[in-house]
Structures are given as structure tokens and as C-alpha cells.
Chain A
């Protein structure tokens, strides 16, 4: 596969991947971002933490997820096509990988509460699930429009003990849910971790989320080897906030 430039390297000291990245947050949140960067750097270099992360991914997250060869489509197109089945991970998407990592880190930092944004509800359901596993208090910000469109996911989050706050500002969708979660974080940053679900936001979030999601690419590489594929010619990934794409490309 060709190089993807600076995006898959470790970011520089300012949290940049080439021209992108950095930290554009209010001063009130800077100490928390610096604390998180340090906590994640230490944890990710700590074999015990990484071991626990992988253990929970396996015993709770439903990993490894299989690689399925799409035989009929392959035949039809005259190619070999494989699907990495993140739909079979616990809670139904790759979101669980990142939240297992971030909730373990929350516990390690001694914070008893997480907040998160969600669009359709996948990240919210995953966060509520991982928070419930560790007994962390959990509040999810969701655009009001999305709470109606995805009422079933609201029900699931509440069933898992989370509080769902409908966001009525701006366009009442994901972008506004992120803004609202950031605003809330300013008020409670001393005891609350913001469990951001995409490769976005201030450093170290994009880096940390990519690292927690890199399990997708690691597994897929091994599984393809076992199926006799040394290196795929092409990887296709869907992109919402980008964490799935960053994870498979790793």
C-alpha cells in the first residue's frame, strides 16, 4: 500500500499530523488535555494496561471479529473481497474498541464519570455499555433531531444507566452534540472524562482514538495472512468521524 503521509505516524509534540491537528480548546480545558496526553502515553506504554485492554476486548468486546470472504460477490466481480466484520463486535459496531480503552483510562486517572457525544447513537450505546461495566456514571449528549430519529438507541442507553441529554442548539445534530459535550466538560473536568468517539477534537484525542481502533487493522492483517492474502490491493472503509478508517489503515 502507498504511503499516507504523516497521518498514521505518532503526532509531533504539538499534536500535529503534518498540517493537521493541534489543540484549539479553551484554556479551561487545556490542563485536562495535557493530563490526558500524559495518562494515555504512560498507559499505552504499560504492558499491564495494554494487556488488560486486549483482555477486555476479547472477553467483553467480542473480539477478534471475523473476516468473511464474500464469495458470491467475489465470483461476480472476478476479485477476492473480504469483509472485516465490525458489525459483530459487542453493541454492533467498532465503537466498542475505543470506549473500552477510554473507560479503562478514565478509571486509571481516578475519574468516576464519563460524558460523550453521539450522532445516530452507536458511540453513545458503546460508551454507556463500557461505563456500566466499570460502574462509571455516564451522560450522553445527542442532537434533539437524532433522539427522535434513533429513539431505540436512546432507550438502550437509558437501559444501561446513562442519562441522555437532547441538544437543542444549532442544527440539533452531531456537531452540536460535540459542542455541548465540550461546554459541559468545562464545568466538570476535574472529575469527568470526555469520551470522544471519533478521530477529532484536541490532541491527544485523534491519536488516542486511532491507537485504540488500530486493533481492527492488526486483526485484519493477521486474518488475511491466514487466508493466504499477503497484502490487500485496496482497503475500503466507511468514514463518519474517521475512527474506523484510521483503525483499519493502521
Chain B
């Protein structure tokens, strides 16, 4: 089992609902301080976006953050070297697009990321059918390959994904790109279906922007991922203190969420 999965399972088994905020690497000069503030305020893991020019599953907010980051010259190499200065002890999970790691070399990218204490990677444009080579590179470096299940995923595919994903299973809450406001999350239903197949932790992301939505999603899942709402705050120039209170509000909601019914 990957170290990421070991630590996320022990979190779950200890009865804690995970909160995972997303930060775009290199979007601003002091992005590492924002990550530290989030960890300090109770985030259980941090998702770190490695910017890409054509982010297919991301809405305008994360597109804008990626653009700013690319304009600042961010690359996989620059992020890895910056992460040396990061002082947090929660797991780091990279989220990027396949082009980024393919261009950097699969083996080299996996090794670089693990060397920078990243323990899992989400690549949303790399479906099961294309992932074998990347999974191989990750396996050699104790890096978890995290797959998404979407509301459109039929039961047989869901089963295959649930069995292949490492670390946790990413339940895409809505049929939309990141940051689209709207209807109730379908993540809970996906989590229930995944749990019927495997006991890997399931986190819900895409479509969660408020503490209430996070606590709602976590009533059926093991954690919630918040990307756009966090990034939007930072694009507007939020301070370290703003990040802390943002994360604390989700922490509070999740700690008081109704218990998961595993029966």
C-alpha cells in the first residue's frame, strides 16, 4: 500500500473527515505560506496544482490562476525546488495534466515529485485506459495514482476505477468543470457505490464551495476537496490570516458533520 493511502486510511479509521484544499503552485510569490497556513488551520492534506496552459476540466478561476503561475515561469522543476522551503507535515498531492508529466518524462517526473515529498498525483485527463505507464512510474516511487469517478461513469467502469485507484478515490461531485455553481453534489452517491467495491477512502471534489456543502458531502464520503473557492480567495489577494479562517470554517463544519453510516 502506498504511504499516502496508509495515512489517509488511518485518518479515516480515527473518525476524522478529511479536508483537502487546493493551491495553484506559483500563482503568487508567497503561495508556500498559504499552504502552511492551511495545514496549520486543520487541512489534512494539500492538493498542489501544477499549472498547464489547457486545463480541460477547470473553470475560469483555476484557468486564471494557472495563467498567472505560468507567467511567473512555474514548471515542475521550479515547484519541486520551491517545495524544499515548505514546512508542513500533512500529505502533499499534486494535480496536473498528462502533458506536464509526459513532457517532463514519466519516470523523471514521478521521481522529482516524490523527492519533493509529494505522495499522490491526480491527472484528470488520464483515464484508466491510458494510465498504465504512468502507474508503473508512480509504483516505483511510492507515489499514489489517484483516479476520478464521474457521475457519468457506469457501474462496471466504477468498479474498475475503484480497484485501480491508490491513496483515495476522487468522486467528481458534478458533471461540470471546477468552480461551476449549482445543484446538489452527486459525490455522496458515488462514494456509496465505490465503498460497495473497495474500502479505499473516497473524497468528493468539484462543486464544493461552502462548509455546508463539504459537510453534506462528507456525510457519505471520507473527505472533501475544495479548489476554486480557495483559489478565488487568493486571486483576490487574501492574506495568510484569511486562508486560516477559510480553512478553519471547513474544519469546523467537517468536525461536526453527521457520522458516516457504514452499515
Contacts and interface: CB of A to CB of B under 8 A. Distances in A.
A170 B53 contact: yes
Contacts of A31: 152-154, 157
B90 to A, nearest CB: 26
B98 A27 contact: no
A190 interface: yes
Interface stretch (B175-183, B226-234, B253-261): B175-183
Interface in B11-69: 53-57, 59-60, 63, 67
B53 A23 contact: no
Contact of A169 (B57, B63, B172): B63
B142 interface: no
B137 interface: no
Interface in B100-139: 124-130
B225 interface: no
Contacts of A8: none
Nearest to A178: B54
B165 to A, nearest CB: 11
A23 B131 CA distance: 10
Interface stretch (A53-61, A117-125, A150-158, A180-188): A180-188
B127 A183 contact: no
Interface stretch (B71-79, B143-151, B209-217, B235-243): B143-151
A183 B157 CA distance: 22
Contacts of B200: none
Contacts of A27: 124, 127-128, 147-150, 152-153, 161, 172
A88 interface: no
Contacts of B53: 170
Contact of A183 (B59, B147, B161, B172): B59
A228 interface: no
Interface residues on A, range: 20 to 34
A14 B129 contact: yes
B60 A28 contact: no
A11 interface: no
A242 B49 CA distance: 33
Contact of B56 (A14, A22, A179): A179
Contacts of A24: 98, 125-127, 130
Given A25-B127, A27-B147, A183 B177 contact: yes
A139 to B, nearest CB: 16
Given A24-B130, A26-B56, A175-B54, A186 B147 contact: no
Contact of A26 (B54, B124, B129, B154): B124
Contact of B175 (A25, A28, A30, A170): A28
A43 interface: no
A25 B127 CA distance: 7
Contacts of A182: 56
Given A30-B127, A186-B177, A190-B152, A25 B56 contact: yes
A104 interface: no
Given A24-B98, A26-B125, A183-B59, A170 B54 contact: yes
Contacts of B128: 27
B180 A187 contact: yes
A183 B56 contact: yes
> Most chain-A Cβ atoms within 10 A of its Cβ — which of B54, B127, B157?
B127
A37 to B, nearest CB: 11
A32 B152 contact: yes
Contact of B176 (A29, A170, A187): A187
Contacts of B125: 24-26
A21 B67 CA distance: 27
A215 to B, nearest CB: 30
A14 B57 CA distance: 22
Interface string B1-18: 000000000000000000
17 contacts: A22-B130, A23-B127, A24-B126, A24-B130, A26-B125, A27-B147, A28-B57, A28-B172, A28-B175, A30-B129, A31-B152, A31-B153, A179-B54, A179-B55, A183-B59, A189-B152, A189-B175
Given A23-B129, A28-B150, 15 more contacts: A23-B130, A25-B125, A26-B56, A26-B148, A27-B124, A27-B148, A27-B149, A27-B152, A28-B153, A30-B157, A31-B153, A170-B63, A179-B55, A186-B176, A190-B175
